Amino acid sequence: MPIREVPGKAELGGIAVAAWTSAALSKVGQRPKNEDRYLEAPDLALWAVADGMGGHADGEIASETALEALKGAVQEGQDLTEAVATANRATSREALRRGSDMGTTLVALRLHAGAYEVVWLGDSRAFGWDGQDLHPLTRDHTLVQHWVEEGRLSPEQARGHPYGHVLERAVGLDPEVRSEVTQGPLASYKAFLLATDGLTDALEERELAEPLRKGLGPRALQALARSVGNRSDPFQDNLTAVLVYSPQAR
């Protein structure tokens, strides 16, 4: 899929949010189909990625349904946490209608005047880029991450664990599931990276950061994809990422 930049400017609460540009990439791995989807809605200062759950029927329908409902809810004036809840209910209804156990991860970023907000369910991740390093903004809603937090596994033991993708929370499987949210000053970061596990499983954080140090934009995402492709067993999973950045940060 070609990469392009999507510029935009949003008006939130009567206060203009400076234009932030985004670039997105989605590559098909060694899977029958690509269940990943992404959303770029710069007019709403909204970006997201979703990974339809592997092994579940209609995973791509789940990710599409979630992102469409998310965007529609924000357009109607819902805050990001409410919009993710709306997306979850919409996906649950569609799963029930289809008689499917489909589900999806979801991580969404919204920029406000002077602040950022990230809401997520599952193990798709968000990072903040301060110009030198990437900082995780999310934690995985997985069984293995739960074990790490309980002290039963070290982070090193968790990486590549066979139960690493057993999700404790996801969109579409429980109509009342509770999302997680984090917020902070927009000035803390020059860019934000949203990514599915096809990227974050393949590359460690220091490897994710390397291309960003050379510049922000489509080339950085292309470099990340090449890094995954250069592995001895590349692109087992689908890979999707959205890079959101201020043009002044390039």
* Residue 121 · residue 152 · CB < 8 Å: no
Q: How confident is the model at residue 149 (pLDDT cuts 50, 70, 90)?
A: confident
What confidence tens digit (pLDDT) does each residue in 211-242 have? 999 999 999 999 999 988 876 455 566 899 99
Give, in words, the CATH class of 5-244: alpha beta
* 139 or 164, which is more confident: 139
pTM for this structure?
0.89
Rounded average pLDDT over 95-121: 94
pLDDT at 178 over 70: yes
* Residue 245 · residue 216 · CB < 8 Å: yes
DSSP 43: G
Which pLDDT score, from 0 to 100, does residue 120 have? 98
* 49 or 197, which is more confident: 49
Which pLDDT score, from 0 to 100, does residue 107 have? 98
Residues in the chain: 250
Q: How confident is the model at residue 199 (pLDDT cuts 50, 70, 90)?
A: very high
Q: Between the CA of residue 174 and those of 93, 96, 121, 239, what are the distances in Å? A: 10, 11, 11, 25
Q: How confident is the model at residue 16 (pLDDT cuts 50, 70, 90)?
A: very low
DSSP 97: H
What confidence tens digit (pLDDT) does each residue in 22-75 have? 999 998 766 667 789 999 999 999 999 999 985 566 889 999 999 999 999 999
**DSSP secondary structure letters along 128-159:** EE-SS-EEE-----BHHHHHHHHTSS-HHHHT
* Residue 209 · residue 215 · CB < 8 Å: no
Of 65-74, 82-91, 119-128, 134-143, minimum mean pLDDT range:
134-143
Which pLDDT score, from 0 to 100, does residue 157 have? 76
